[in-house]
């Protein structure tokens, strides 16, 4: 009996080894294409951006930039661009808040109440993506224009004064941002709401929680992963957006993205790069603090 066992083990061992090393390579092989892509189009540009932020600001595209480890760039840009920088964060915070207020009920209704209309309603949420971001924002320009029906209606209702306008205001910019980023809020919210076992909500009711309390103590905490994902997907791109401020605002609504874009076009690479790095760092810090505070790790 033991001889048979040994024989079996001996003959089975070599193929097992081959298979195991093959398996070890499979993981790396799968990582390779995406890894190369990220290396080429993320790590390399990131390093080049970090480098550019430390170039001598007195250079130009024609004469080239010298690497002088000019950390003063960060101090100078912050002094010059603190206002649009703060405005960007403020606008994206407002945008995130409005997206959450509009998106949560919408996602909740689709996930919990839509029944057989669920897929249709989800398709409607995604439908704007079939038109380009730029075109959609341009149509908002028409929609909010001084002769548009929205302004007329608001004037008739006396919400807007006789000289009031929507276009070229903060309201227009934040409205545009909210519109453009709403699907990014709704989809993760929907995904996490849809995953909640309806019996948990029934259990809340069974254990003396009225519908509001059940929402507060069961549904909302269970949907926190969606809230975190949705707010991040809204806040991060909104903070770097410049299309909405450019098309729907005036220089007074200028966001940091507009300045970065302008500086890059004007060839002021070190300044533009320093602004970009600062924005990136600010977002990373904010996100880290936020995710920590939200405490959703254990739910993920």
Partner 1 sequence: MSSDLVLNGISKQFSGQRAVDNLDLTVPSGSFFALLGPSGCGKTTTLRMIAGLEEPTTGTIRLGEQEITGLRPYKRPVNTVFQNYALFPHLDIFENVAFGLKRRGVKDFKPKVEEMLGLVELSTYGKRRPSQLSGGQQQRVALARALINRPQVLLLDEPLGALDLKLRRQMQLELKRIQTEVGITFVHVTHDQEEAMTMADTIAVMNGGVIEQMGSPAELYDLPATTFVANFLGQSNLIRATIIGQAEENITVDVHGRKVTVPLPRCRVTEGDVWMGIRPEKVFIAAAGTEQSNGSNQLRGAVVTDVSYVGVSTQYLVKLPWDQELTIFEQNTGARGTFGVGETVDLHWLPTHTFVLDADQDAHAGVEHIDDPGGAG
Chain residues binding partner 1 by CB under 8 A are 197, 199-200, 202-210, 213-214, 217-218, 221-222, 298-299
If the CB atoms of residues 188 and 249 are measured against partner 1, the closer one turns out to be 188
If the CB atoms of residues 80 and 206 are measured against partner 1, the closer one turns out to be 206
Shortest Å distance, C-beta 186 to partner 1: 22
Query: Which residues are within 8 A (CB) of 256 and not within 5 positions of it... i.e. 6 or more apart?
Result: 81, 84, 85, 87, 88, 239, 240, 275, 279
If the CB atoms of residues 280 and 299 are measured against partner 1, the closer one turns out to be 299
Name 60's bridge partners: 64
The pair of structure tokens assigned to 50 is 């970090």
Shortest Å distance, C-beta 59 to partner 1: 55
Sign of CA dihedral 60, 63, 64, 65: negative
Shortest Å distance, C-beta 113 to partner 1: 17
Shortest Å distance, C-beta 100 to partner 1: 19
Cα-flanking dihedrals φ and ψ of residue 55, to 5°? -70, 160
First-residue to last-residue Cα distance in the chain:
50
If the CB atoms of residues 182 and 193 are measured against partner 1, the closer one turns out to be 193
Name 67's bridge partners: 55
Of residues 42, 87, 44, 48, the one with CA closest to residue 269: 48
Shortest Å distance, C-beta 292 to partner 1: 17
Contact present, 99 and 179 (Cβ < 8 Å): no
If the CB atoms of residues 218 and 233 are measured against partner 1, the closer one turns out to be 218
Shortest Å distance, C-beta 232 to partner 1: 20
If the CB atoms of residues 152 and 202 are measured against partner 1, the closer one turns out to be 202
159 HSE (CA, 13 A, CB side): 7
Q: How far apart are CA 238 and CA 184, in angstroms?
A: 11
Shortest Å distance, C-beta 9 to partner 1: 33
The pair of structure tokens assigned to 23 is 């398996």
If the CB atoms of residues 17 and 113 are measured against partner 1, the closer one turns out to be 113
């Amino acid at each position: 009996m033991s001889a048979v066992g040994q024989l079996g083990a001996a003959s089975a061992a070599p193929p097992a080894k081959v298979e195991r090393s093959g398996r070890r390579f499979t993981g790396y092989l799968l990582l390779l294409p995406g890894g190369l892509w990220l290396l080429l189009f993320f790590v390399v540009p990131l390093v080049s951006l970090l480098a550019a932020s430390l170039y001598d600001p007195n250079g130009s595209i024609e004469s080239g930039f010298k690497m002088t480890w000019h950390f003063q760039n960060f101090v100078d840009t912050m002094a010059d661009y603190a206002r649009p920088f703060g405005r960007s964060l403020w606008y994206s915070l407002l945008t995130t808040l409005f997206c959450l207020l509009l998106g949560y009920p919408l996602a909740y209704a689709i996930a919990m109440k839509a029944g057989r209309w669920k897929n249709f309603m989800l398709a409607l949420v995604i439908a704007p993506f079939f038109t380009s971001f730029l075109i959609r924002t341009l149509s908002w320009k028409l929609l909010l224009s001084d002769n548009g029906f929205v302004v007329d209606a608001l004037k008739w209702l006396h919400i807007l004064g006789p000289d009031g306008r929507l276009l070229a205001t903060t309201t227009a910019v934040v409205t545009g941002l909210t519109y453009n980023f709403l699907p990014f809020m709704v989809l993760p919210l929907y995904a996490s709401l849809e995953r909640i076992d309806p019996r948990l909500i029934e259990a809340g009711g069974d254990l003396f929680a009225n519908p509001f309390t059940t929402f507060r103590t069961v549904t909302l905490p269970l949907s926190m992963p969606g809230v975190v994902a949705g707010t991040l997907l809204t806040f991060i791109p909104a903070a770097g957006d410049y299309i909405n401020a450019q098309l729907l605002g005036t220089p007074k609504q200028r966001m940091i993205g507009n300045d970065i874009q302008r500086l890059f076009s004007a060839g002021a690479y070190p300044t533009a790069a320093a602004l970009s790095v600062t924005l990136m760092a600010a977002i990373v810090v904010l996100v880290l603090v936020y995710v920590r505070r939200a405490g959703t790790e254990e739910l993920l």
